[in-house]
Structure 1
Amino acid sequence: MVTITDKAAEKVKEIAVAEDLLGQGLRLRVVGGGCAGFSYDLYFEDKPTDLDEQFEDRGVKLYVDPLSYQYLENTEIDYVEGLHGSGFKFNNPGVKSTCGCGSSFSV
């Protein structure tokens, strides 16, 4: 299962309204790249594919392809704001290490 915090859900809904994307779900993917091997990708998408894992948490639809799901199982998506910027943070229990900047990970 993939979950989303209240703060992240509020931010997703805020972006959906601002970008006229209401009704779309949030696609989560793990892609190769970054200095640690993998990085996260998320964007809005109209509908899931037949193979996707689908979740809904706090009013946000989440779509994950089967390959990415093996790296995202039990992940919580949060939204953080700080001195170094703001953005979505993935609290992923399967991550073994991250790069120095925190934008990529390895399992």
Structure 2
Amino acid sequence: MTPHCAGRARRSVPSAPRYVNQSLPIVMREVLRLLEQRIAEDTAKIEALRQATSIGIMDLEHGRFTQLNEGNLAQFGSRPNIPMGRSKSHAISSSIVW
């Protein structure tokens, strides 16, 4: 790391007490550790979404869904964040747990 970058990195480090008296290598290790942790969490979330999508697609392909319209939606409970779109008919996979 160039001296210019090192000085800039020191100035950009949060002024939290635990970082103020630390050397740049220690702070950089912590930054890298946090970045790796965030990447691992994001990777796990993406994998969970892929699995849920696969399950939903398989359910649809095998006919494991209930056709919904505005008339029978109430029997499945209230879900205010479900986008209803323009169509009055929607399919919901039986594998989705509300």
- TM-score (norm: length of structure 2): 0.22
Which has a greater percent of strand?
1
Which has a greater percent of helix?
2
**Which is greater in Rg?**
2
Q: Which has the higher contact order (CA 8 A, sep 6+)?
A: 1
